Chain A
Amino acid sequence: DVKVTQSSRYLVKRTGEKVFLECVQDMDHENMFWYRQDPGLGLRLIYFSYDVKMKEKGDIPEGYSVSREKKERFSLILESASTNQTSMYLCASRRTGMGGEKLFFGSGTQLSVL
């Protein structure tokens, strides 16, 4: 089955630090996504990418950027971490076509910004 790997399960950073969250998928999916999940707010889309070098803003892109230099890797960057970016971050890749549409999620990174 598809594997989506996020580099860290838990991260603790200080306000103002630059933070990199890495995500790698092994099934050659073109579409990749970054979400954050907060209690009472559900899953919210930060950025997505439909192809290498391509990126699009989701619903809450402020304070974030992304990089997709290779098809399998999609990185989320917090340019200057703030306490309101403390959250669970979930990366996903999307299977389309044969087998049906499906999002495969990584195990998540719980980021705490102090």
Chain B
Amino acid sequence: QKEVEQNSGPLSVPEGAIASLNCTYSDRGSQSFFWYRQYSGKSPELIMSIYSNGDKEDGRFTAQLNKASQYVSLLIRDSQPSDSATYLCAVRSGGSQGNLIFGKGTKLSVKP
């Protein structure tokens, strides 16, 4: 059974701090990795995708991938209360036609 694991949280950080969200996955052959954000009562929306080892930055968000350790993370710099949401890690296995496997999500709370 292919799995994606995340700490459920809640993760609480003060406004302006760096929030660090972590995810591990079981399928070593996975090639594509995604972070979705889900506000309470809303649907998930894609915020970052990463395909190669290393860091990928987009504004205040940085995704980090380490395939050897089967680990992917999301850093949110200068966290804002509007970042308070559940963050879902998703991993695609099985090649280009494989489906996403979602983690259960980490709830982030940014305190003013």
Question: A-side interface residues toward B, CB under 8 Å?
Answer: 33, 40-43, 45, 48, 50, 58, 90, 96, 100-103, 105-108
A41 touches B99 (CB 8 A): no
Known: A43-B88, A106-B43. A101 touches B32 (CB 8 A): yes
Q: Which of A33, A45, A101, A107 lies in contact with B43, CB distance below 8 A?
A: A107
- Complex CA gap A92/B37 in Å reads 15
We find that the number of chain B residues with CB closer than 8 angstroms to chain A is 20
A to B contact number (C-beta, < 8 Å)? 38
B104 touches A42 (CB 8 A): yes
A103 touches B100 (CB 8 A): yes
**Top 8 nearest A-B pairs by Cβ distance?**
A42-B104, A105-B43, A43-B102, A102-B46, A42-B102, A105-B44, A108-B43, A107-B43
